[in-house]
Copies of this chain bind each other. A is one copy, B any other.
Amino acid sequence: MPAGGLSSSSPPRTPANDYYRADDDEAWVWTQIKAEARRDAESEPALASYLYSTILSHSSLERSLAFHLGNKLCSSTLLSTLLYDLFLNTFSSDPSLRAAAVADLRAARVRDPACISFSHCLLNYKGYLACQAHRVAHKLWTQSRRPLALALQSRISDVFAIDIHPAAKIGKGVLFDHATGVVIGETAVVGNNVSILHHVTLGGTGKASGDRHPKIGDGVLIGAGATILGNVNIGEGAKIGAGSVVLIDVPPRTTAVGNPARLVGGKETPVKHEEFPGESMDHTSFISEWSDYII
């Protein structure tokens, strides 16, 4: 993320490293969001009503998020007031959900060059909104409120075209970029600081029940349209190329590409990269090393 991106919104912070400190993150981000929304409301009267109803009339990020999700996910048979109540109560009672909501905002802001502000992500990123709603559905699932959790999953799938089973575990600082078509199965686990592009499937292997979905390590990057099936491990910092089909474990910090997928560098001597691609979002640097790639 270019420094200019954030500095243009003038956060009154002095130490460079405080950007990632955990405490009072939520308050700082919320202050940013309100400042962004106020600036946009002033410059664009046609959007001011929208910005006031979704952000500026609320006293906290959790209220704004509960309002926005309630209005997005409601239907004629699941009223917005009911969903608003459910989201607000869940966010209010569980600080970890709020912390994750903040971490995910930061992930989008830092990793996605098209993300021009926190409020842009909060209002417009279906991947972000689906993920926050999933966290609530997941909490309901762990409380054995399964029918309600599944109803939420269904609404998220209808509205955002993102289908995450409420039992799936998703870490913090996760970016779902574009997000349309993402499918994540019941026993999948996604680590922290993972980036997942659209049309990605973390699917099962068949009708057998039990633990049957992928486990994605921290810092993994999964490219658009990649399909990972079965109870396989994608090691931390691994990279899965766009359109790849992966049915076997991928070692940490390696890159798997193609259909069927192969490791860049070969099965025996795969190339190991240093950075965590889930954070660097480097989709294509492997090309020169991928001998098989020719046009």
Interface residues of A (CB under 8 A from B): 1-2, 5, 40-41, 43-54, 56-57, 67-68, 70-72, 74-82, 84-86, 110-114, 116, 120, 123-126, 145-148, 150-151, 153-154, 157-163, 165, 178, 180-181, 183, 185-186, 197-199, 201, 203-210, 212, 223-225, 227, 229-230, 241-250, 256-263, 267, 280-285, 287, 290, 292-295
Q: Is the CB of B53 within 8 A of A49?
A: yes
* Distance of A148 Cα from B68 Cα, bound (Å): 17
> Which one of A160, A225, A250, A283 has the highest number of Cβ atoms from chain B below 10 Å of its Cβ?
A225
* B295 A246 Cβ-Cβ under 8 A: yes
- Closest beta carbon of chain B to A85's beta carbon, Å: 8
Complex interface: chain B residues within 8 A of A40 (CB): 147
CB distance from A97 to the nearest CB of B (A): 18
A77 contact set on B, CB distance < 8 A: 49-50, 53-54, 68, 71, 79
B225 contacts A198, C-beta separation under 8 Å: no
* B67 lies within 8 A of A81 (CB): yes
Query: Are A44 and B145 CB-contacts (below 8 A) given A198-B201, A224-B203?
Result: yes
CB–CB B46/A209 < 8 A: no
Known: A72-B75, A76-B79, A227-B242. A181 touches B198 (CB 8 A): yes
